Chain A
Amino acid sequence: DQQVKQNSPSLRVQEGRISILNCDYTNSMFDYFLWYKKYPAEGPTFLISISSIKDKNEDGRFTVFLNKSAKHLSLHIVPSQPGDSAVYFCAASADQGGKLIFGQGTELSVKP
């Protein structure tokens, strides 16, 4: 039973364009959502988060949108840069950040 799903295993984007990474969840008790970026052989790096009381959170080139009725969140990166190439995981929690459930990840490749 996969509670957090990232249905696109990979995404290729041209440098300077927008990258949109999507994530769906099934547990309506989730109240906190995060995006992590991971390079090979390294630990995940926190990017941005959003609580369920908001529908948008922005930090520089990164914006996360939350649609609670659709149980869907997305990460927008604009403009995309080659250094953004990595695996992106969305994660969700039902207890204000305790147990995180991760999606399967989307590998983003930004080409010059």
Chain B
Amino acid sequence: DTEVTQTPKHLVMGMTNKKSLKCEQHMGHRAMYWYKQKAKKPPELMFVYSYEKLSINESVPSRFSPECPNSSLLNLHLHALQPEDSALYLCASSHAVGTVDIYNEQFFGPGTRLTVL
């Protein structure tokens, strides 16, 4: 199994809703990532989990709350979002971050297209 899966594929939510995005990988990777991508822009890193612990938070607003229940799963909990948060949310995974002598590529999921009304 060499893929990263994300659910749902599309999500429409109001500004008062609470929803969650889910990501799963079974490649034995110990690092997982959330990115946000707006149209015609590159992916922008939001969070990095390494060995199930949050290692990087790129000053993301608290209305986005990540969670890593185990080494295969990564969630992104959403609450009180704004219309400008509408974007493609990408999950990625890789081998352990920063391991000496190991350079490792990140494998991306297909993304969740989020629309906030």
- A contact set with B: CB distance below 8 Å: 32, 34, 36, 41-46, 49, 51, 89, 95-100, 102-105
Contacts and interface: CB of A to CB of B under 8 A. Distances in A.
Nearest to A103: B42
A51 B97 CA distance: 15
Interface stretch (B11-19, B64-72, B76-84, B104-112): B104-112
A51 B108 contact: no
B10 to A, nearest CB: 10
B90 interface: yes
Contacts, number: 70
B105 A105 contact: no
B94 interface: yes
Nearest to B106: A100
B117 interface: no
Interface in B92-106: 92, 94-95, 97-100, 102-106
B109 A97 contact: no
Contacts of B99: 96
Nearest to A9: B40
Interface residues of B, number: 32
B94 A97 contact: yes
A46 B42 contact: no
Contact of A96 (B4, B44, B97, B109): B97
Contacts of A36: 108
22 contacts: A36-B108, A41-B88, A42-B111, A43-B6, A43-B92, A43-B111, A44-B43, A44-B90, A49-B103, A95-B98, A96-B99, A96-B100, A96-B104, A97-B94, A97-B97, A97-B104, A97-B105, A98-B48, A98-B56, A100-B45, A102-B42, A102-B44
Contact of A99 (B41, B56, B109): B56
B31 interface: yes
Contact of B97 (A46, A89, A98, A105): A98
A43 B42 contact: no
